[in-house]
Amino acid sequence: MIRVTVWNENVHEQKHPAVQKIYPQGIHTAIADGLRRLDTAGQLEVRTATLDQPGNGLTDEVLGSTDVMTWWGHCAHDKVDDKVVARVAARVHQGMGLIVLHSGHFSKIFKRLMGTPCALKWREAGERERLWTINPAHPIARGIGPCIELEHTEMYGEPFSIPEPEEQVFISWFEGGEVFRSGNCWRRGNGRIFYFRPGHETYPIYHNPVIQQVIHNAVHWAAPSAWWSDIHAAPNVPADQAPEPIQATGASVH
Ligand code: ZN
């Protein structure tokens, strides 16, 4: 069983009627419903968490029972408590998968785990996007086909100031001419991270069955096969506990 927590700042949905119309129960509900719909094998346990909950919805208890987290945020990145960000990062290092969506590129957690500005170009013109599958054998591309067409999207363009992806699954082309690395994988510690570009609160992109399929595939890809729970420990090993006897030659002895 893969325990999935779908996290959302859930702010636009409370304030803007246009967003409420597309995501009346919040973006998190659309993403969670998509995961449940595709989980015909009964392998996922999906719950949601939002910024307004205690501990920003990400208490030790929630994190301790999460194998993969999806992250959507846009206008409230700075409202996420730094202590929460540190907890999420630590859990990723131990093995939790993290799927960062769209404007999550500027979230504290993504920038912390990447260590770079994660900046990009953008434009809201409702233009067409084509995501090319450039690694058709990758588990995240399973069942997706050569490309995904989105009729109306916000543009994200290069340069995207991320560390070089360890694996890349999709590259986007936009009607206006820009391109963008839109499906990228990294490993940080024992955790797998996937950044997936499509989204935006005023387009119904998370209701799109193909986009839901990619997120579903990514959840399975990012799920830890084993945890490295003491990855942050840095124990001292005294000479008398070394695996082999040490013939001291005068180096410092404490
Ligand atoms: Zn956006």
Please report the DSSP string for 53-101 in residue order: SGGGG--HHHHHT-SEEEEE-SS-GGGS-HHHHHHHHHHHHHT-EEEEE
pLDDT tens digits, one per residue of 53-103: 999 999 999 999 999 999 999 999 999 999 999 999 999 999 999 999 999
pLDDT of residue 67: 98
**Segment 35-53 mean pLDDT:** 98
* Per-domain residue ranges of the chain: 2-116+182-230
pLDDT of residue 248: 74
pLDDT of residue 220: 98
Q: How far apart are CA 76 and CA 34, in angstroms?
A: 24
Which residues make Cβ contacts (< 8 Å) with residue 197, sequence separation at least 6?
A: 102, 131, 156, 170, 172, 180, 182, 183
Residues lying with their CB under 5 A of ligand 1, a single-atom ion: 103, 154, 200
pTM score: 0.96
Q: How far apart are CA 87 and CA 3, in angstroms?
A: 17
**How far does residue 154's CA lie from ligand 1's centre (Å)?**
6
**How far does residue 143's CA lie from ligand 1's centre (Å)?**
26
Considering the chain, what percentage of its residues have pLDDT values greater than 90? 96
**How far does residue 90's CA lie from ligand 1's centre (Å)?**
27
Class of the CATH domain delimited by 2-116+182-230: alpha beta
Structure tokens at 136: 């058709």
**How far does residue 201's CA lie from ligand 1's centre (Å)?**
6
Residue 250 pLDDT more than 90? no
Tally of CA atoms within 13 A in the half-sphere of 158 that contains its CB? 12
